[in-house]
Amino acid sequence: MAGRFAPSPTGPLHLGSLLVATASYLEARQRGVPWRLRIDDLDAPRAVPGAAADIMASLETHGLLWDGEVDYQSDHIDAYEHALERLGELGHLFYCTCSRRQLRSGQPYPGTCRGHRAARADAAIRLVVEPEPIHFVDAVQGQQQFYPANESGDFIVRRRDLIIAYQLAAAADDGAPEIDHVVRGADLLDNTPRQLYLMRLLGLVPPEYAHVRLVTFADGSKLSKQTGAAGVDSQTAGANLTAVLKMLNCAPPPDAIGWSCAEILRWAGEHWNITSVPSHAAVIERN
């Protein structure tokens, strides 16, 4: 059994991703299972050179030491293609040639290309989503019910540029027998039903989920490079950890000022309770 932290190499670790990494780390430590690091590097056009190394260096400075080798999604493409083949054999896939202009963003896919079952070049591959509810219990967000047919509709599993979509890659990786729990940001909560749907079709056993609070600016925007969020400063690692632990409702005692990251994390590991993490966003000031 294991947990994992799965950053995309699109920029440095900022306070929001440090919060997710810390929560994920503490949950795995408390369960006494390995904590894996997976780099979600399939979307090569969005990858920033050096970002993966940067994220790893930040994790290490904060004492968030992962177990075993770093796992790169780009090393699993054969497994994803194999999963695609199985879905195709089961009759769940079709080739979509709709242009972005034909599709209304925020609306479920209208089913236009459902009849295109034979392979075509220059087409995305979509999954037929049957009208069924998906239920799961999230350790932070509580009982969830989704209806993917009306939300995403038939979603993309391989893009037109042949890149495996996040939903399929995440379902295959998080459905692996070793992964028994997933801690990630609440921005991904509505992706989970699509991944559960895929896991069901692929006969994979889903992990337990906890979608922890986001860190946002006062205007509600998520921390990211686009919104001007800085990477965490490695000079203030202990203070950064203390700040995210406060947001996780696991604030170290006042005399923790001066503790090393390892000491802070050891203390937090003894006081950690994922169910007391707030579900709503933590708001910080832009600096």
- Which residues are at the interface with ligand GLU (CB under 6 A)? 6-8, 40, 170, 184, 188
Contact (Cβ atoms closer than 8 angstroms) between residue 61 and residue 170: no
Distance between CA atoms of 89 and 117, rounded to whole angstroms? Answer: 11
Q: Which of residues 198-227 bind Zn ion (CB under 5 A)?
A: none
Taking the complex as a whole, the smallest distance from the CB of residue 96 to Zn ion amounts, in Å, to 3
Q: Which two tokens stand for residue 231?
A: 């990477």
Q: How far is the CB of 149 from ligand GLU (least distance, A)?
A: 22
Q: Is 77 in the site for Zn ion (CB under 5 A)?
A: no
Residue number, 185 or 238, with CB nearest to ligand GLU: 185
Binding-site partner at residue 176 among ligand GLU, Zn ion, none, CB < 5 to 8 Å by type: none
Q: Which residues pair with 205 in a beta bridge?
A: none
CB-wise, 14 or 92, nearer to ligand GLU? 14
184 binds, among ligand GLU, Zn ion, none (CB under 5 to 8 A by kind): ligand GLU
| Chain-centre distance for alpha carbon 169 | 11
Strand, coil or helix: 186: helix
Question: For strand 215-217 and strand 282-284, is the pairing parallel, antiparallel, or unpaired?
Answer: parallel
Task: Tell me the closest approach of the beta carbon of residue 212 to ligand GLU, in angstroms.
Answer: 11
DSSP H helices, the chain, are 15-31, 51-61, 77-89, 148-151, 166-174, 192-202, 237-247, 261-271
98 makes contact, choosing from ligand GLU, Zn ion, none, with CB < 5 to 8 Å by partner type, with Zn ion
Residue that is written with structure tokens 């050891």 in the block = 266
Distance between CA atoms of 191 and 194, rounded to whole angstroms?
6
Beta carbon nearer to ligand GLU, 6 or 245: 6
Q: How far is the CB of 47 from ligand GLU (least distance, A)?
A: 11
Q: d(Cα 134, Cα 171) in Å, to the nearest integer?
A: 15
Write the binding mask 110 to 139 for Zn ion: x where contact by CB under 5 A, - elsewhere. Answer: --xx--------------------------
User: Which option in Zn ion, ligand GLU, none does residue 201 bind, with CB closer than 5 to 8 A by kind?
Assistant: none
Please, what is the minimum distance in Å from the beta carbon of residue 256 to ligand GLU?
28
- Comparing CB distances to ligand GLU, the nearer of 80 and 95 is 80
- Residue 256 token pair: 């923790």
Closest to ligand GLU by CB, 164 vs 256, is 164
The least CB distance from residue 117 to ligand GLU, in Å, is 30
Q: Is the Cβ–Cβ distance between 114 and 94 less than 8 Å?
A: yes
Residues in contact with 243: Cβ distance below 8 Å, sequence separation at least 6, in sequence order = 15
Tell which phi-psi region holds residue 42, choosing left (phi > 0), alpha (psi between -120 and 50) or beta: alpha
Q: Residue 103 Cβ, how far from Zn ion at the closest point, in Å?
A: 7
Measured CA to CA, the distance from residue 233 to residue 240 in angstroms comes to 8
Q: Which is nearer to ligand GLU, 7 or 252 (CB)?
A: 7
Among 33, 98, 176, 188, binds Zn ion (CB under 5 A): 98
42 binds, among ligand GLU, Zn ion, none (CB under 5 to 8 A by kind): none
The contact set with Zn ion (CB under 5 A) reads 96, 98, 112-113
